[in-house]
Chain A
Amino acid sequence: MTPGVTTFWTLAALAVASALLSVASRDPVRSAVALVTHMLILAALFLSLSAQFVAAVQVIVYAGAIMVLFLFAIMLLNLGVPARPDKRQRTGLGVATVLTLGLALAMVGGAVWRAGLSAGKASRVTLSRGGTVEAVGYALYDPELPWLFAFELTSVLLLAAVVGAVVLARRRP
């Protein structure tokens, strides 16, 4: 196994383990910490896909901003560890788990056997320079490409999100 393959399998195992821990843990804070780990491992996977800029954004936006919001909300509401599920809820959990396992089998099976990918166009140039800030920035602000308009719309969306969050979370007199 080459170093690249070993890295991929290690990161994949860690990503699945941290995601499972985040989904299965009963303590919300533990769940959030597992989710931070998951985000950081995904940033490493993005690096292995030579998407350097997106990996940096992943660390800053997800592991930084979004997780702080999550931890803030968990500690603000201070709900503590929930009670153990009763019999009816355990039945529901079992059904949900079986259905999700079926979905996972179908999706992973489809990705493995029926991906039907044509031969790629990855070259030494796209692999080494495709994910730098320079390449991403040129594509993002190129008026010939569809991304510039979407980028401008995103700024309006984020402004609306900021205003909306302030209005929603404001204490009513």
Chain B
Amino acid sequence: MHLPVPTEHYLSLSALLFCIGVAGVVTRRNPILMLMGVEIMLNAANLGFIALGRHFGEVAGQMCAIFVMAIAAGEVAIGLAIIVALFRARETIDVDEVNQLRL
């Protein structure tokens, strides 16, 4: 069946958004904002999953997207808890200054 917007358009948009997320991760020094870049990347991957799921008429793409969302929720909760604990221990969270595992 002819799709009004071809799947390739969605995949290109997904790739572009993923790269914007990568840029966010590599240019930021605040780990909270780096996590936001990771969220943009995960969302871009979800867009790709769902576009391919629609293309092949399968529900599997949406399943993957749902699991990505669930794991992203857990990842953010743990990540922000680590950042808060780091701030309590060091008084800074700048990743240029926090470069040792020990206290």
Contacts and interface: CB of A to CB of B under 8 A. Distances in A.
B70 interface: yes
Give the interface size bracket for A toward B.
35 or more
A4 interface: yes
Contacts, number: 232
A126 B54 contact: yes
A74 B72 CA distance: 18
Interface in A18-39: 19-20, 22-23, 28, 31-32, 35, 38-39
Contacts of B51: 49
Given A20-B20, A169-B81, A158 B70 contact: yes
A93 B24 CA distance: 11
Interface residues of B, number: 71
A120 B7 contact: yes
Which of A19, A66, A136, A166 has its CB near the most chain B CB atoms (within 10 A)? A19
Given A120-B7, A126-B54, A150-B67, A53 B13 contact: no
Given A35-B36, A54-B62, A74-B32, A97 B27 contact: yes
Contacts of B82: 168
Interface in B27-75: 27-30, 32-33, 35-37, 39-40, 43, 46-47, 50-51, 53-60, 62-63, 65-67, 69-75
Instruction: Provide the main secondary structure of the chain A interface.
Output: helix
Given A61-B73, A130-B54, A73 B32 contact: yes
Which of A2, A32, A108, A166 has its CB near the most chain B CB atoms (within 10 A)? A108
A70 B35 contact: yes
A50 B58 CA distance: 12
Nearest to A13: B13
A111 B1 contact: no
Contacts of A76: 84
11 contacts: A45-B47, A69-B77, A74-B32, A77-B32, A77-B87, A82-B29, A107-B15, A120-B57, A122-B54, A136-B63, A169-B85
Q: What are the 3 tightest A-B residue pairs by CB atom distance, in nearest-first order? A: A161-B74, A104-B19, A4-B4
Interface of B: 1, 3-5, 7-24, 26-30, 32-33, 35-37, 39-40, 43, 46-47, 50-51, 53-60, 62-63, 65-67, 69-78, 80-85, 87-88, 93
Given A107-B18, A130-B54, A158-B74, 16 more contacts: A4-B4, A8-B5, A16-B17, A19-B17, A23-B23, A28-B32, A28-B33, A31-B33, A96-B27, A107-B15, A115-B11, A122-B1, A130-B53, A130-B57, A154-B70, A161-B73
